[in-house]
Structure 1
Amino acid sequence: MTVTVSGTNSPEITEGDGPGEAVEVLRPHAEDAFADELSALAAADDRPRPARWRLSPWAVATYLLGGTLPDGTVITPKYVGPRRIVEVAVTTLATDRALLLLGVPGTAKTWVSEHLAAAVSGDSTLLVQGTAGTPEEAIRYGWDYARLLAQGPSRDALVPSPVMRAMADGMTARVEELTRIPADVQDTLITVLSEKTLPIPELGEEVQAVRGFNLIATANDRDRGVNELSSALRRRFNTVVLPLPATPEDEVDIVARRVAQIGRSLDLPEAPEGVDEIRRVVTVFRELREGVTGDGRTKLKSPSGTLSTAEAISVVTNGLALAAHFGDGVLRADDMAAGILGAVVRDPAADRVIWQEYLEAVVRERDGWKDFYRACREVSA
């Protein structure tokens, strides 16, 4: 398929398999979804750019954090958080050290990684998805075994990994969930990051990194101890910790923005009246994960789930879909209750008790939350 239409915040349109058939991509890559903003930034950007960067470090930071250009173009924020964190991350990519984005689940590590690669290299797709079964070939290279058997080892038979392609072209590679990858496979990156070369002993050759190459990895705090990074590999990274949103207002803003973007891609109606429900979800999640009510007066037990911002976005999106397809399009407590229950109660025994105590001790007594209390009680019964 080939791209025919793409624009800022709009679904990417590709050619279908049949003549004249158009297919909307559910989630365009960042460089396609925000192509207009990236083009406007490139046109306005008169600052020095590192080798093979599409934008200057200043422009990359502006793309992530948002702003208004001299011509009036509005750059929407992709990340809501401390500016210094973004500046350190961008600066790291302009050096010879790789970047490790670390944080608890749901702190936008993958989102930031994708947008950094899109702004720096114009391509966020050079991606290795880390799992317990990720093989060494996913980071180094593999072989086209039909050609290998017919011709023997050769460049034509070699299948480059995303990391090898990024090295050869001076691009940004991404490795998601680095600590999920087995330790011996992780260490494949040591030579790549320290020597900037990838040996191919079967051919007696090597691929040397072209200027502009760098690598962004992500890892969850909660994965420590799964496949912890060796000290040798950790030294090759500059680690930037992405925190949870600092204030309820920041988190409400993040959830509202992402729900609106996802809703447009799914043709769901906008829900301007839904900000109150979003604020309730954020309040519940923040109080339960922090173990204390917002006023600091009541200590709470925390459930086993992470209750991250990403989960809040999922709960609200699901509620919006319920309101659109089985309601009147207005987001209400009834639409949110089941999603919140599913997010909070992961352990049916322990978490259900924690949720019930929170409902009775906090939600029931909170002014203006009677409808929310009733809706949650109904689905919890």
Structure 2
Amino acid sequence: MTSSTGSHATGRKAAQLRQAAEDAFAEEIAALCRADDRPRPPNWRMSPQAVVTYLMGGRLDSGLAITPKYIGDRRLMEVAVATLATDRALLLLGVPGTAKSWVSEHLAAAICGTSRLIVQGTAGTSEEAIRYGWNYALLLAKGPSREAVVGSPIMRAMDEGRIARVEELTRIPSETQDSFITILSEKTLPIPELNEEVPAQKGFNLIATANNRDGGVNELSSALKRRFNTVVLPPPATIEAEIAIVESRVASLGRAFEIPAEPPGAEQ
């Protein structure tokens, strides 16, 4: 029964229209973890140097080619990874199409093995989506208890020592954004109803993305800005870089849709 269930789960993952980074690039991540003999921060699956290799591409001693996930300035990825190795949160800032979400997903996948602890920022994002909510059936039946608490992705990341992601941070109303201040400064999430708190375990950190060009954005307070190191992801610097990005994404989408790839026609 266990084998059958495992095969079914594997088959469903393979049939997904879009796999998470940790599934789509599982072979590369596993190979980097095996080959990596450098020091790793607590609860990191690989060293910061290996994370940069995963993002920028390279070739391992085994001969396995690591595909580049980000085509651009290596220094930006080094700064991003170094930030996450400290107690500073990371803010990826840029216009649409600069790979903010893509980089965020791959950073989380490489560092902690999951990119799924994510909060999508919108004008309707509530404080409960950042902190916690309640299972009201249990709350009515048993009263306030940890069993009745429904943890947010941020709370789960803190409890497990993982990376949490916040998409479109500046879309979240300003008064709700400030829920992150205590989490990032004190590294704890109070639950005043229970007179308890959830302390962040080693390895916890936060990656947020933001676009400062569209309308409808909410400026971050100066207190919240101080909790982030900001890395600005620029548009492709050259037409060659843009072509390389498009070719990489087309190849990735082709594999997902099982479309045979054809080499581009020769110029006449």
* 2:220 equivalent to 1:229: yes
In structure 2, C-alpha distance between the alignment counterparts of 1:3 and 1:127, rounded to whole Å: 25
Per-residue deviation, residues 121-155 of structure 1 (Å, max 9, x unmatched):
00110000111101111100000011111111101
Aligned match of 1:119 in 90, 96, 110? 110
Q: In the alignment, what sits opposite 2:133?
A: 142
In structure 2, C-alpha distance between the alignment counterparts of 1:223 and 1:38, rounded to whole Å: 35
Residue 161 of structure 2 contacts residue 203 of structure 2 at CA under 8 Å; is this kept in 1? Answer: yes
Per-residue deviation, residues 232-257 of structure 1 (Å, max 9, x unmatched):
00110000000111111111011011
Deviation of the 1:266 alpha carbon: 1.2
Residue 107 to residue 161, structure 1, CA distance change in 2 (3 Å): same
Q: In the alignment, what sits opposite 2:197?
A: 206
Aligned match of 2:51 in 53, 60, 66? 60
In structure 2, C-alpha distance between the alignment counterparts of 1:210 and 1:227, rounded to whole Å: 30
**Corresponding residue SS for 2:90:** strand
**Corresponding residue SS for 2:146:** coil
Q: In the alignment, what sits opposite 1:133?
A: 124
**Corresponding residue SS for 1:198:** strand
1:13 maps to amino acid: G
Residue 118 of structure 1 contacts residue 124 of structure 1 at CA under 8 Å; is this kept in 2? Answer: yes
* 2:162 equivalent to 1:164: no
In structure 1, C-alpha distance between the alignment counterparts of 2:78 and 2:8, rounded to whole Å: 32
For normalisation by structure 1, the TM-score amounts to 0.67
* 2:15 equivalent to 1:24: yes
Q: Which runs of 5 or more residues in structure 2 are unaligned?
A: none
Structure ranking higher on relative contact order (CA contacts 8 Å, 6+ apart): 2
Residue 173 of structure 1 contacts residue 216 of structure 1 at CA under 8 Å; is this kept in 2? Answer: yes
Identity %: 68
What CA RMSD, in Å, does the superposition of the two structures yield over aligned residues?
1.9
Residue 99 to residue 275, structure 1, CA distance change in 2 (3 Å): farther
Residue 147 of structure 1 contacts residue 157 of structure 1 at CA under 8 Å; is this kept in 2? Answer: yes
Deviation of the 1:275 alpha carbon: 8.7
For normalisation by structure 2, the TM-score amounts to 0.94
In structure 2, C-alpha distance between the alignment counterparts of 1:204 and 1:143, rounded to whole Å: 15
Pairwise mapping of residues 267-286 of structure 1 onto structure 2 (< 5 A)? 267-273=258-264
1:260 maps to amino acid: A
In structure 1, C-alpha distance between the alignment counterparts of 2:46 and 2:162, rounded to whole Å: 13
Q: In the alignment, what sits opposite 2:181?
A: 190
In structure 1, C-alpha distance between the alignment counterparts of 2:40 and 2:85, rounded to whole Å: 9
After the TM superposition, which parts of structure 1 deviate over 6 Å for at least 4 consecutive aligned residues?
none
Residue 105 of structure 1 contacts residue 221 of structure 1 at CA under 8 Å; is this kept in 2? Answer: no
Q: In the alignment, what sits opposite 2:60?
A: 69
Q: Size of the alignment, in residue pairs?
A: 265
